[in-house]
Amino acid sequence: MVGPRQHRLSRTLPFEALRGVRDAVAPQSLSAAPAAASIKEEVEPITSENARGELKQILPEGLEIPNEYLIRAFDLLEPDYYAFVVAYLSGDEYSRELVERFRALSDAPSDKVVNGPSSGLANSSNPIMTKEESNSSEVELGSVGYKFRKMFDAGWFDGKVIEIRPLAEGGKDRRVLYTDGDKEDLSLDDLQELAKLDPNYTAKKPRLSIKLKLNKSNSNVSNSSAGETKAIVDNGPKHNSAQPGIPKIPRSEQEYIKLLHQSELERDTQITQQLAQNILTKSAEVDNQVAKLPGMTRTRQMQLDRIAELIEKNKVVARELEESFQVATKMREEVRVALEKHTCSALGLTS
């Protein structure tokens, strides 16, 4: 029978074991425990600028990522998106190549035409833009109905301005509603910063009517001031799709799977083309070697004429051999007859 004390000890044993594992993995946590709060404040946020030190901030000191875990990122049947992220942060070459390919595809003109400024939302699955969405894309920044995106720990979420409160404290007079139902108060400056961070946001160019009104209102101003006004209007806020502060990497598992399959298909195509090119090169070298053999430069008619000439020579040689054989046979018969006569005369025999 287990007593209360033994039962309490049995319940605390797993926690003691976990504590021992923690001390074995990160022994520096024991000495740094009193200053944990100060160390936490000194750690810089993870951005693309300090990408090299990201894993040093996330992983304990001395802990290495096993290769078996990184291989899971490139499994074509079940690719692991989080393993890909870790592989990219750890400096894996193939992960870097995938990210570079993703950036090239994102910056391609065809991709921008197909996706457009608002079709690449992470939480939007309908590629057809409705009339309401097209009207909302024309809403000015900060107005009611203006849609934007914001990055949270769980990913990108769509938001929409539903109310403007002029008397709000701290200047956060825009109340926004996210797709998951949460609400938040933001200022106009916050919305402008979010627009800069959103890679799919494209600032609207000033309409021609606005330029005409400005030119009409400033018709009495000097040429220099008119030029400055035009420069101010033309040099409005322009968005650069490649934000330097945010690395362009696949933000969802679906995007990564599509990118991985496209990259593998392209790599297979390149390997096949390279093998075909090698085969053609080797075949050309073989043809060159065969062409150097004797008689390979002759045509078919030349070969037939050569064969006929050789046949005729063979016939001539055959006739010469036949004549030589007949002469040899005749001479042998003469020698035999002469030998027979001399033998008979020597023996005193008469034929």
Q: Which residue has better confidence, 296 or 37?
A: 296
**Tens of pLDDT along 279-305?**
999 999 998 888 888 877 778 888 899
> Vertex 126, ends 125 and 131: CA angle to 5°?
140
End-of-domain residue from the set 201, 228, 243: 201
Do 121 and 186 lie in a common domain? yes
Task: Please check whether residue 257 lies inside any domain of the structure.
Answer: no
Do 13 and 45 lie in a common domain? yes
Highest-confidence range of 102-106, 171-175, 266-270, 336-340, by mean pLDDT?
A: 336-340
Task: Please check whether residue 272 lies inside any domain of the structure.
Answer: no
* Residue 72 CB contacts under 8 Å (≥ 6 apart), including other chains: 78, 79, 80, 83
Determine the pLDDT at residue 23.
54
Determine the pLDDT at residue 24.
52
Do 78 and 124 lie in a common domain? no
Q: What is the mean pLDDT of residues 266-284?
A: 90
Do 136 and 90 lie in a common domain? no
Query: CATH number, domain at 165?
Result: 2.30.30
Task: Please check whether residue 275 lies inside any domain of the structure.
Answer: no
The residue range of the domain holding 308 is 298-351
Return the minimum-mean-pLDDT range out of 55-64, 132-141, 199-208, 325-334: 55-64
Do 26 and 98 lie in a common domain? yes
Do 94 and 11 lie in a common domain? yes
Do 93 and 37 lie in a common domain? yes
Query: What's the domain count of the chain?
Result: 3
9 has a pLDDT exceeding 50: no
End-of-domain residue from the set 173, 201, 229: 201
Percent of the chain having pLDDT more than 90?
A: 13
Q: What's the burial of 262, exposed, middle or buried (CB within 10 Å: 0-12/13-18/19+)? A: middle
Q: Which residue has better confidence, 91 or 205?
A: 91
Do 98 and 9 lie in a common domain? yes
**Tens of pLDDT along 73-85?**
777 777 888 778 8
Task: Please check whether residue 129 lies inside any domain of the structure.
Answer: yes
Determine the pLDDT at residue 195.
84
> Vertex 26, ends 61 and 36: CA angle to 5°?
95
Determine the pLDDT at residue 5.
44
Q: What is the mean pLDDT of residues 229-237?
A: 44
**Tens of pLDDT along 119-128?**
334 344 443 4
DSSP string, 152-202: ETTEEEEEEEEEE-TT-GGG--EEEEETTS-EEEE-HHHHHHHHHH-TT--
End-of-domain residue from the set 72, 102, 132: 102
Determine the pLDDT at residue 271.
92
Do 130 and 97 lie in a common domain? no
Q: Report the largest interatomic distance among the alpha carbons of the chain, rounded to a whole angstrom.
A: 166
* Residue 94 CB contacts under 8 Å (≥ 6 apart), including other chains: 74, 87
Q: What is the mean pLDDT of residues 47-74?
A: 57
Task: Please check whether residue 221 lies inside any domain of the structure.
Answer: no
